[in-house]
Structure 1
Amino acid sequence: MRGVNFDDMMPLDPFADDPNDPASFIDDDEVVEPLSAQERVAVIQDLSHVRDAKRLLKPRGILGIHFLCEDCDQLHYYDWEIMEQNMIATLNGELPPVHEPSAEPNIDAYVPWDYAMGYLDGLEGR
């Protein structure tokens, strides 16, 4: 697939070799729009925050973030590593890999982005 990030640090695709892979609808020829200078700065800043959160919050049991998906009206859970790899792919002009954490994450180990950033602010005295 052209433009997709295949990183050996990412979890294995649970749908590998599955003829009913839900990602099969993705167009391999999808063009990634380049980031504006302002968007690039924002992603770099967010990447720094994610790396800080991974370093400082993961040892405290916060494994990542959750957010409410507007399409399905359900919470989605993303590990710090997944967030980091998605941002790196975006900065490299690649499509992020299709992935999500386990089907049954420990929901108590995930927090909203704003909560995580506030927690970091408190730890680091920002």
Structure 2
Amino acid sequence: MSFDWQMPKDPFADDDFDPASLFDDEEEQLPPLSDQEREQIKQELQFVYQFRAALLPKGVMGVVAICEECQEEHYYDWDIMINNMRATLAGELSPAHEPSMNPNPNAYVPWDYCLGYIDGMSRR
């Protein structure tokens, strides 16, 4: 299953007052992924495609996780997760994104719930 979704055009493209111009132009280099890390991310990416296909029609917008640093819930939309994983596999930094404003906590479920849901569907 493949989706050819692309990030929208940068709203500040060709803008002389682009706030990103305040940052260095040097690209940060990520350490290369090990073969095991690459395979794990590929597998997780396939899971996210399955989760989105099964759960989005039911109103589930993505995954919720407790942040290890701040101990608060963070909400990740399906497309953000897909784009972050694709960027990681390409050796790039994850694209900048804005979190959902006032996300509906009832529209996000834990990763393990998604795995269980897909497993349950396959046992029908």
Normalised to the residue count of structure 2, the TM-score between the two structures is 0.79
User: How do residues 89-104 of structure 1 correspond to structure 2 at under 5 angstroms?
Assistant: 89-104=87-102
Note if contact 1:65-1:80 (Cα within 8 Å) is conserved in structure 2: yes
Normalised to the residue count of structure 1, the TM-score between the two structures is 0.78
Q: How many residues align?
A: 117
- Tell me by how many angstroms 1:124 deviates: 1.9
Point out where structure 2 has 5 or more consecutive residues left out of the alignment. Answer: none
Radius of gyration: which is bigger?
A: 2
2:67 is matched with which residue? Answer: 69
Query: Is 1:10 matched with 2:22?
Result: no
Note if contact 1:43-1:87 (Cα within 8 Å) is conserved in structure 2: yes
- AA aligned opposite 1:119: Y
Higher relative contact order (CA 8 A, sep 6+): 1
- Tell me by how many angstroms 1:33 deviates: 1.0
Separation (CA, whole Å) in 2 of partners of 1:66 and 1:40: 23
Cα deviation code 1:58-117 (max 9, x no counterpart): 101111001111222211000111101111001111100122432211110101111111
Determine which of 25, 30, 36 is the counterpart of 1:32. 30
Per the alignment, do residues 78 and 49 of structure 1 end up closer, same or farther by CA in structure 2, a change over 3 Å counting?
A: same
Say what the alpha-carbon RMSD is for the aligned residues. 2.8
1:5 is matched with which residue? Answer: none
2:43 is matched with which residue? Answer: 45
Per the alignment, do residues 70 and 15 of structure 1 end up closer, same or farther by CA in structure 2, a change over 3 Å counting?
A: farther
- Tell me by how many angstroms 1:15 deviates: 9.5
SS at match of 2:93: coil
Note if contact 1:65-1:113 (Cα within 8 Å) is conserved in structure 2: yes
Separation (CA, whole Å) in 2 of partners of 1:28 and 1:56: 40
Note if contact 1:78-1:100 (Cα within 8 Å) is conserved in structure 2: no
